[in-house]
Amino acid sequence: MATKQLWETRPLEFWNKAKELRAGWQKSIESVENVVGQGNCMWASAFPAVTVIEDNPVGAMMQNKNEPYARKARLASEIRGWGREICGYQGNCWGGQFLGYIEDGTPWPRRRMVVPMPCVCDQHAKRGQQARDFENMPQWMADMVIYPGPFDEERNEALLEHKIYCSLRPINDVERIFGQRFSEDRMKEIMEGNKLVREYAKEITYLMAQTIPSPLSVKDLYSVYTIGGLTKVDPEATVAFWKMVRDEVKWRADNHIAAVGNERFRWIEAHPPSWHYMKYYRYMEEYGAICLGSQYAHMMGGAPEFKPDGSIGVRENSQYPDGTEMSTREDIIRVSQGKEARSLNAFKIDEYIRRDAIVEFAKIMQADGALLAIWRHGVGCTLTRKEQGMYLKEAGVNVMHYEGSQPGDRTDLDEKRLLDQLDTWMQGLGFRRQVN
Amino acid sequence: MVQKFGKWPESCWTSDKIDWKAAKAITAGVDLGTGSAQCAIFCDGELFGWSNLRVGASFKQIAEEVIIHAVGNSGLTADKIGVIGATGFARDNAAYATKKLDEVHCHAKGARYMYGPSVTTVVDLGGQTMKAIRLYEWDRVRDIAINDKCATGQGRNIEQMCELLQVPITEIGEKSLDVKGDPEPVSTTCYNFARTETMGQFRPEFRAEPLTENEVYATHMLAVAWRMLGAIGKMQPLDPGEIMVYEDLGFTGGLAKNPGITKRIEKELRVTALTSEYDPMLAGAIGAALLA
Amino acid sequence: MDFKALVENRHEYAKAWKAKTGGKVLGWFEPYFPEEVAYAAGVLPVRVLAKHEPDDVSDKWIYASCYPVRDMVNQFLKGRYDYMDGLVNVEGCQWMYNAFEVAVNNKRKPDLFDHYFFLPDHTDAPTSKHVTRSELNVFKGKMEEWTGKKITDADLDKAIEVYNKNRLLLKQISELRRMEKPVIHGAEMMNIVLADQVMDKAEMNEILEKFIPELEAREPGKDRIRLMLIGSETFDTELEELVEALGGDVVVDELDNGTGYYWNNIIPQKDRLMAIGLKYLGRPKNPIKDNNWRRRPQHIFELAEDYNVDGALVVKQIYCHLHGTDNYAVWKILRERYIPYHFFERDMLLPVEDTTLRLESFMNMLKPGINHLAGWHKVFGED
Amino acid sequence: MITAGIDVGLEYIKAVVMKDGAVAGKASGLSGGVGRPAAVQAVYDQALAAAGVKAGDVEKVISTGKGKFDVAFSADQLSETVAAAKAAKIFEPKVTTVVDIGADEILVATIDGEKIKEFVINQKCTAGLGLFLEGMADRFDMSIEEVGKLEGPGSVTVNDGCVVFAELDALSLLNRGTDAKEIVKALNEACAWRANSTLNDIYKPDNGCVVLLGGMTQNGAFTKALERISGIKFVIPAEAVYAGAIGAAALAAD
């Protein structure tokens, strides 16, 4: 069933801009002399002198760029008490802090505070705690809230107050401990920018889902994925960049420019890919199979809601409530938390998103198959993955699982076994690889 | 499998200079491991004979045989040895033993005998377990770290890998060192994962060069070495603030004869291990004899 | 009293309880579950425990979790827990959450009641108690709806009384382990606590009240190496038994389902739900609930001091991400306070030789000469 | 039309030469490490000789198995599951599920016409079947044929999840004087539990006509235990060991 190229392809134009933005960010963290925070905290960007470095992308990048160094960092973590079968993102990242140098031998940008965040993954609850244990730096737990089922007004009230406290406390503490100033205006700008980026991201998702051939593969999307988070410090640049991406994707969709020229099989994934082995996307493309991403990949657009008419929206309760007074710091934080305390991005826990939405997602993406990774070392990444597979199979999607350690740790990823499994999957469906 | 690639040759030695009949005290130590068994006999503190055998289907049988091989044709028999210390996984099968001892202390003592009293770090690479032992001035064990449960059987792993790859166990270490730079190791989690990975290793990776023969060996040796570093690092210093120094490092056990592993550990720890005239596999038995 | 038999017969016990009272059985997973509210509604809260059984069905539903969770799934799928009318989980370990989800989702019992209770991971915030109070109220409402019985303050008071008494009795037994030559060893104590988690507390209180005088009349044992057990929850006493066979004794543990289960009590106040909530927020911290203020290491140190331990065993289940991430602080404090420890991982079965090697070497390291492989024969069932 | 299929497994290389849809010659040999390309050539030559044809007469060679890329002269390299499914269809046209149990891995695939509907592979933690048993047989000084005759359940059990722990358990039993035969029974039984775990992993098991292939079909104790535990009656073709190679040769003829 080998076919020739069916559609025209073109290189992406936003690529260079993305590279430039990423390089700029990399530079900004290398030269940090101010306070470096760790964690998933939007408020931190409203401190001009606080830079947020998340351990997940850092850990993933370490493994991706320099395997021996990442391995060494993990060993440094392991001998201090980090289980070797536990999350590699953090094993890498904090191992780096223990080693004290980055790959090229230059000093490690030391973090000076940590903001862990549980619930998406239990291992996030311990985020950075190792550094706190060894170096006595301040830590603020940013509790996330979950419960299954529909929105519950009664439960929401106390939970929302708790969440607001968890954001306000560190803001006040950072001012007190580090003598920094929190800028309310900056916070508002960031929220505005965030709103726009969500809109663009949502539209990109929609274009990828509805257009055959898809104008963008997730491989391309991932190369710009972190930019939303990385450039939080500069909302204008972020918004401008996402507008650029959206425009190009729209143009490609209108003109039938394909991401994969011989697209014959559309597949989706579950959540983080193996960041250290992205080659499998290209391998699958040789079979004419395009990856359209995961709920995780399309999370930029906010907690998704798939409407019966096939369009994609954002769950109302996760939006910033409109028209609310934002005069005090507390007001702003309150608005930034949205109406619902529950973390709607905690897609692994929320029953609706995990169980029903993955099937809806597959349908919206017009997916023929799903490749669900099961990670031995990552609880949040693996939780209920097998169950999801069953719901997808029930819905008629062809599912395959593959094993690895964790997206930031390639110890247990048997690359050749993965490729063999991909061969089986595709050849079993009658496709043959087309090597150019 | 007809040819045996994964086994160390058996050996034994008996002194022809010492007359055991003249000795005041004869002590012996046996170390009955899962893969191999050793025996060491001392006459008045001097090594009289030793043996190093493979373990077959019966632990009871090998427990008898190690003694027989160690005494050679000198006429000495087990009942004439006053004190016999037994250690190792299957020590319970040494019916003649007068004392049963734990492996860690035996290896520590044996290493001090073999490498001299300066030894502070002993790493035993055995068939099923791997132990790192920290000693201080006197023969008191300060801390021990044993492999994680999932990393059990590293010694056995190497044997099986040699069978699969059809390379003699005596050569795999040297060969694995003959590489330009260490490639990425196979899974360090579990030897079973490593075995699954072995198969694909000659497959050219997607748009990349396949590994060379020696590089494949290196991936396995590095994985074992890496697992051991995990245990070595977990040992605590005497004082919380003390920086661990691994000089005076001694390897014991079967894998100690595998430079592919020991050299890699030495490289990471930036030290050179001590050497000894004795077969490092004997450490447990020597220790048992001395402690008993 | 054979407490081990009570643990082993827990399914029969719960079934008999149901037949006798006509009440409902509620299975719970996480150590932070406020049993008092369910008990006040006339429900029997039973902890879901893992055991060792060949597992060939869980692969389809769950991947790679620790063995207790895999085994729970295995047992649910094989119908061992079919007598449970409801299941409740508390915010805590995600693998445990996964087991809970599978138990609910596999639809063996379509009318199974289920509830997820959110107890903040950040237990020290001023808002935490309000969240817990609100969640308790929601849970109380759910219980009332499910059983059709209104839970009055008097019901809550009674439940609090029974539970408080139970915890006091357990603590009383635990205090006996501080003796120089304890009359009760680790394995038996662990069995008592496990049995306690699967039985009607009122009944258990009667048993314990009879048992304590018996215990106090016992002859003190011989000198043993005093060890402390720190780490992941275990659902059997294999390790404790092995330690005893080798001449040691686990005199205290820091397990969630060990001392953690009964360590603190409810201080009565007018707002009953708040009183219950504060008890659970103030419990000895388990790794996921121990964040900003780091109370767990200090608690471990205090236990070690109080029970005069010679050394500690830090044992973690393989794939236990919570203990796998929390060991930094545990190792650090043990090291700083000069408490020798040995760390190892465990899984479904405890390999005897391998574990013996560890324990023996460790104990010999602590007190050279004391333990010449005492009890060696006992391990192997020889004379 | 003459085609050939070569199945390079973890432990053995199997080669089959097919003439107009029928097996004309077959051979097998050890699958080594570095020497594998040479071993493949030798086994292939034997198969050619058995079939009485020359290499030049063979129109197309397809290789399969874990080491499929080690066959330098093959026209195509196909997945072992695809080859096994093809072979199963030749042996038993009504086949609905094919199970391939070899040295290290177990593959289960449900078949829908020419396609594979669902496919599962064992988890890495539960790898190790034939090779593991062979290692243990060697340890106990038994032949692999003997191992295949010792049917469980015996008086003892070993870990049924992980072979590393199972080996430790076995040694522990041996240490305590348990009869080696009883231990081997436990090992066979544990392998069957492990394999059943993968069989249960299929979302919608189609147990209508299940064809069992691969090297482990030679171990009667194991297959009987697996039938007992899973409740499936397997169809075990006579050429089960050569299935991969036969499938590949048949695919070459397509």
Task: Please give, one letter per residue, the 3-state secondary structure of B105-155.
Answer: HHHHHHHHHHHCCCCCEEEEECCCCEEEEEECCCCCEEEEEECCHHHCCHH
Q: Do A228 and A300 lie in a common domain?
A: yes
Question: Which one of D120, D160, D227 would you mutate to disrupt binding with C, by most C Cβ within 10 Å of its Cβ?
Answer: D160
A212 and D CB contact within 8 Å? no
Residue D78 distance to chain A (closest CA, Å): 7
What per-residue confidence (pLDDT) applies to A22?
Answer: 82
State in words which class domain B117-273 has: alpha beta
What per-residue confidence (pLDDT) applies to C19?
Answer: 96
Planar angle of CA A400, A404, A410, nearest 5 degrees:
140
The architecture of the domain spanning D83-124+195-240 is 2-Layer Sandwich (3.30)
Residue at which a domain ends, from A155, A183, A211 = A183
- Structural domain boundaries of chain D? 2-78+242-253, 83-124+195-240, 129-194
Among A33-37, C205-209, C285-289, D138-142, which stretch is predicted with the lowest mean pLDDT?
Answer: A33-37
Q: What is the mean pLDDT of chain A?
A: 84
Is residue A218 within 8 A of residue A269, CB to CB? The reply is yes
The predicted-structure confidence for D86-98, as pLDDT tens digits, reads as follows 999 999 999 999 9
Q: Is the pLDDT of residue A231 over 60?
A: no
| A265 DSSP assignment | E
What per-residue confidence (pLDDT) applies to A380?
Answer: 84
Element (H, E) at B83: strand B83-87
Q: Is the dihedral of CA C285, C286, C289, C292 positive or negative?
A: positive
Q: Are the Cβ atoms of A420 and B200 closer than 8 angstroms?
A: yes
Average pLDDT over residues D9-17: 91
What per-residue confidence (pLDDT) applies to A228?
Answer: 65
Average pLDDT over residues A270-294: 91
Q: Is A22 left (phi over 0), alpha (psi -120 to 50) or beta?
A: alpha
What per-residue confidence (pLDDT) applies to C105?
Answer: 86
What per-residue confidence (pLDDT) applies to C4?
Answer: 94
What per-residue confidence (pLDDT) applies to B205?
Answer: 67
Residue percentage of chain C with pLDDT more than 70: 96
D70 and C CB contact within 8 Å? no
Among A431-435, C36-40, D201-205, which stretch is predicted with the lowest mean pLDDT?
Answer: A431-435
Residue A411 lies inside a defined structural domain of this protein: yes
Q: Is the pLDDT of residue B137 over 70?
A: no
Closest partner CB to A423 (pick from D79, D85, D123): D79
Q: Do A324 and A399 lie in a common domain?
A: yes
Beta strands in chain C (DSSP E): 25-28, 44-47, 86-90, 113-117, 225-231, 248-254, 311-317, 341-346
**CATH code for the domain in which residue A199 is found:** 3.40.50.11900
Which of the pair, D34 or A389, is modelled with greater confidence? A389
Neighbours of chain B (3+ CB pairs under 8 A): A, C, D
Residues of A in contact with D118 (CB under 8 A): 393, 398-399
Among A311-325, A396-410, C164-178, D106-120, which stretch is predicted with the lowest mean pLDDT?
Answer: A311-325
Q: Do A130 and A250 lie in a common domain?
A: no
Q: Do A217 and A299 lie in a common domain?
A: yes
Among A215-229, A292-306, B79-93, D198-212, which stretch is predicted with the lowest mean pLDDT?
Answer: A292-306
Average pLDDT over residues B172-191: 87
What per-residue confidence (pLDDT) applies to B128?
Answer: 84
Closest partner CB to A428 (pick from D66, D109, D204): D109
Residue percentage of chain A with pLDDT more than 70: 89
**pLDDT band at residue A36 under the 50/70/90 scheme:** low
Q: Is the pLDDT of residue A165 over 90?
A: yes
Q: Is the pLDDT of residue D12 over 80?
A: yes
Residues of D in contact with C57 (CB under 8 A): 197, 200
Q: Are the Cβ atoms of C294 and A147 closer than 8 angstroms?
A: no
A219/A228 Cα distance (integer angstroms): 16
Q: Cβ atoms within 10 A of the Cβ of A416, count?
A: 20
Neighbours of chain A (3+ CB pairs under 8 A): B, C, D
Among A289-303, B51-65, B91-105, C240-254, which stretch is predicted with the lowest mean pLDDT?
Answer: A289-303
A411 and B CB contact within 8 Å? yes
Question: Which one of B87, B157, B195, B198 would you mutate to disrupt binding with D, by most D Cβ within 10 Å of its Cβ?
Answer: B195
Residues of A in contact with D76 (CB under 8 A): 432
- Amino acid of residue C312: A
Is residue B123 within 8 A of residue B265, CB to CB? The reply is yes
Average pLDDT over residues A242-252: 94
Beta-carbon pairs below 8 A across chains C and D: 45
A25-31, Cβ contacts within 8 angstroms, sequence gap of 24 or more: A25/A227, A25/A230, A25/A231, A28/A233, A29/A53, A29/A109, A30/A106, A30/A109
What per-residue confidence (pLDDT) applies to A348?
Answer: 45
Average pLDDT over residues A159-163: 93
Q: Do A203 and A241 lie in a common domain?
A: yes
The predicted-structure confidence for A356-366, as pLDDT tens digits, reads as follows 778 888 988 89
Average pLDDT over residues D226-248: 94
Number of domains in chain A: 2
Beta-carbon pairs below 8 A across chains A and C: 156
Is residue B152 within 8 A of residue C350, CB to CB? The reply is no
Q: Is the pLDDT of residue A26 over 80?
A: no
Q: Do A150 and A288 lie in a common domain?
A: no
What per-residue confidence (pLDDT) applies to D10?
Answer: 84
What per-residue confidence (pLDDT) applies to A198?
Answer: 83
Is residue A100 within 8 A of residue A108, CB to CB? The reply is yes
Hey, what are A303's tokens? 């907690």
Residue A21 lies inside a defined structural domain of this protein: no
Q: Do A124 and A83 lie in a common domain?
A: yes
Q: Are the Cβ atoms of D193 and C54 closer than 8 angstroms?
A: yes
Average pLDDT over residues C318-342: 91
Q: Is the pLDDT of residue C7 over 70?
A: yes
The predicted-structure confidence for B255-277, as pLDDT tens digits, reads as follows 888 999 999 999 988 888 988 88
Residue D15 distance to chain A (closest CA, Å): 20
What per-residue confidence (pLDDT) applies to A41?
Answer: 76
Q: Do A137 and A251 lie in a common domain?
A: no
Residue A123 lies inside a defined structural domain of this protein: yes
Residue at which a domain ends, from A166, A183, A200 = A183
Average pLDDT over residues B24-35: 90
Residue C345 distance to chain B (closest CA, Å): 6
**pLDDT band at residue A344 under the 50/70/90 scheme:** low
Residues of A in contact with C126 (CB under 8 A): 165
The predicted-structure confidence for D57-89, as pLDDT tens digits, reads as follows 999 999 999 888 888 899 999 999 999 999 999
- What phi and psi, each to the nearest 5 degrees, are found at residue A38? -135, 125
Average pLDDT over residues D130-158: 89
Closest partner CB to A84 (pick from B148, B200, B205): B148
What per-residue confidence (pLDDT) applies to C374?
Answer: 31
Q: Is the pLDDT of residue B3 over 80?
A: no
Closest partner CB to D172 (pick from C55, C64, C352): C352
Q: Do A55 and A92 lie in a common domain?
A: yes
Q: Is the pLDDT of residue C130 over 50?
A: yes
Beta-carbon pairs below 8 A across chains A and B: 56
D109/D120 Cα distance (integer angstroms): 6
pTM for the whole structure? 0.92
Q: Which domain holds residue A388?
A: 8-14+186-428
Residue A26 lies inside a defined structural domain of this protein: no
* Topology, domain D129-194: Nucleotidyltransferase; domain 5 (3.30.420)
**CATH code for the domain in which residue A152 is found:** 3.40.50.11890
Residue of A nearest to C100 (CA): A384
Q: Do A212 and A81 lie in a common domain?
A: no
Asked if the bond preceding D153 is cis, omega within 30° of 0, the reply is: yes
Average pLDDT over residues C210-228: 92
Closest partner CB to D124 (pick from B164, B196, B204): B196
What per-residue confidence (pLDDT) applies to D31?
Answer: 82
Residues of D in contact with A375 (CB under 8 A): none
A64 and B CB contact within 8 Å? no
Q: Is the pLDDT of residue B157 over 70?
A: yes
What per-residue confidence (pLDDT) applies to C145?
Answer: 96
- Structural domain boundaries of chain B? 11-108+282-291, 117-273
C54/C52 Cα distance (integer angstroms): 7
What per-residue confidence (pLDDT) applies to C373?
Answer: 37
Q: Are the Cβ atoms of B148 and C347 closer than 8 angstroms?
A: no
What per-residue confidence (pLDDT) applies to A173?
Answer: 92
Residue A106 lies inside a defined structural domain of this protein: yes
Give the closest residue to A97 by CA, choosing from A108, A84, A83: A108
Among A225-229, B49-53, B149-153, C143-147, which stretch is predicted with the lowest mean pLDDT?
Answer: A225-229
Residue percentage of chain B with pLDDT more than 70: 95
What per-residue confidence (pLDDT) applies to A234?
Answer: 73
Neighbours of chain D (3+ CB pairs under 8 A): A, B, C
Q: Does domain D2-78+242-253 have CATH number 3.30.420.40?
A: yes
Q: Are the Cβ atoms of A403 and D124 closer than 8 angstroms?
A: yes
Residue A103 lies inside a defined structural domain of this protein: yes
Residues of D in contact with C56 (CB under 8 A): 160, 193-194, 196-197, 200, 229
Among A38-42, A216-220, B236-240, which stretch is predicted with the lowest mean pLDDT?
Answer: A38-42
Q: Is the pLDDT of residue A269 over 80?
A: yes
Closest partner CB to A122 (pick from C61, C288, C318): C288
Q: Are the Cβ atoms of B143 and C368 closer than 8 angstroms?
A: no
Residue of C nearest to B34 (CA): C353
Q: What is the dihedral of CA A297, A302, A306, A311, to 10 degrees?
A: -90
What per-residue confidence (pLDDT) applies to A354?
Answer: 62
The predicted-structure confidence for C84-113, as pLDDT tens digits, reads as follows 999 999 998 989 988 998 998 887 888 999
What per-residue confidence (pLDDT) applies to A119?
Answer: 73
Q: Do A191 and A178 lie in a common domain?
A: no
A404/A411 Cα distance (integer angstroms): 8
A405 and B CB contact within 8 Å? yes
Q: Is the pLDDT of residue C79 over 70?
A: yes
Q: Chain B interface residues facing chain C, Cβ-Cβ under 8 Å?
A: 89, 92, 99-105, 128-129, 131, 140-146, 148-150, 152, 234, 236, 240
Q: Which homologous superfamily is B11-108+282-291 in?
A: ATPase, nucleotide binding domain (3.30.420.40)
Question: Which one of B192, B203, B224 would you mutate to disrupt binding with D, by most D Cβ within 10 Å of its Cβ?
Answer: B192
Q: Do A146 and A251 lie in a common domain?
A: no
Is residue D109 within 8 A of residue D119, CB to CB? The reply is yes
Residue A1 lies inside a defined structural domain of this protein: no
What per-residue confidence (pLDDT) applies to C383?
Answer: 30
